[in-house]
Structure 1
Amino acid sequence: MLKIQIHMNLAICTALGQIIFLTLAEATENRALCKGVTVTLHYLFTSALAWTMIEGVSLYRTTAVGSKALRIGWLSLIAYGGSFVVVGVSFGVLFDTYGTSAFCWLHVGDNSIYIFAGCVYATEMFSVTVLWFVMRTFRSLKANKKKDEIDKIKATARALCILLPILGLTWIAGTITSFTQSDAVICFQYIFIICFSLQGVSILVFHCLLVPDVKTALKLRLGRRVADSTWASSKSSKSTATSNF
């Protein structure tokens, strides 16, 4: 249940940020609105980074023995409260750098983008460390030791496909594109856009639809709906037949 709640918060922050960016990133005519959009995006994406780190903590706990239980309330306070403090201080100190004449985002030439980039790189360093630890544990499992090299590669690739979306490693490419607008980083722009846009789909597929507990719950709910629909249809048919008689 805790993992699902963590996934949900990460997905919500990412989805809201993407929707607002796609719909309001070019609303530069109204300066007040543009600043509001920028600070909202900064907060949502910083919160997404915080939940990414929490995903890493959750992954680490699955391989650690004797770890204490985490509570979603405290995790939410850390993620949303910590992000509020970071963005609030940044917005208060660097108010004029929020929003540009081209789009509603942090100004590349000022310190505001470095605050966000620092959060990104701190998150990525943590995620890489967690990924290395988890993959080392995964490779050392007895079930994997009995496999040949091809099967090990396939299992490792599948594990990476599952872990990379929730660890947010594509943010590195995004921060590289934020520091410059030259053609030299256009490949990173494509990488970031493609990977970041598929992050939500990957979370939905690998961490929702393919999870056995979720699949079982969906089957039960679908079965109940079919049964209720059949019962209602049967009852309606009987009522019609009785009234005709």
Structure 2
Amino acid sequence: MSKTEPSAPAGRPGRSPRRRMAPDDRRQALITVALDLFNTRPYGDVSVDEIAEVADVSRPLLYHYYGGKYGIFLAALEHAADQLITVVIEASRDAPQDWLLAGLRAYLDYVERNPIGFGALVRHGAGPGEGEDQAILDGVRDKLLRLIVDALVVPEPPAELRTAIRGWIAQVEVSCRDWLPAARPPKADLYLLDLFGGVLLTAARHDEDVRLALRSSATGLAGSGVTVI
């Protein structure tokens, strides 16, 4: 049986005692609340007391787990980032002959199911400026870049190819941010897939190293929907 925390004092008259929860459940509750609050209001407008109250934990317990507001903010971003990368990896592995479209759809599905988590992740500038929040978002982009380069089977991708792929990743991110207030547009996945092909073709047309790298990557390109002459 998993250990549970003792109930904290009521704190003020009329308040019900806090529910007993396993430590992992408490941490998850804090992360869920933090994602919601930090996505809907500026970082400076959210207090430690508010996070603790909404998550139904004590202020000392929040500090014990995360060291304060910025700690829970970073933990929430890391949670969203890990979830996003995991679903993309799993989808791509399950569809090796169509890896790019499968991974792209998984990315878009995650955003649609978790607008708060994605919104908090990409609103990296909401933090107090220590830099760790930006590093988490940059880490997501770097992992996506590596996944695509590995799938393309390009052992030593030229800098221009990496730059082109980074630009496409940024376009996907920006598109999702624009779509978040409303419903996902029809055929958004196919539009972004075509855009990927256009980005690679443009890079190959203007750079011989990119063209040669992609020509040597017939196997990987076959699953991306792109043909490079």
TM-score by length of 1: 0.29
Write 1 or 2 for the structure with the bigger share of helix: 1
Q: Identify the structure with bigger relative contact order (alpha carbons < 8 Å, sequence gap 6+).
A: 1
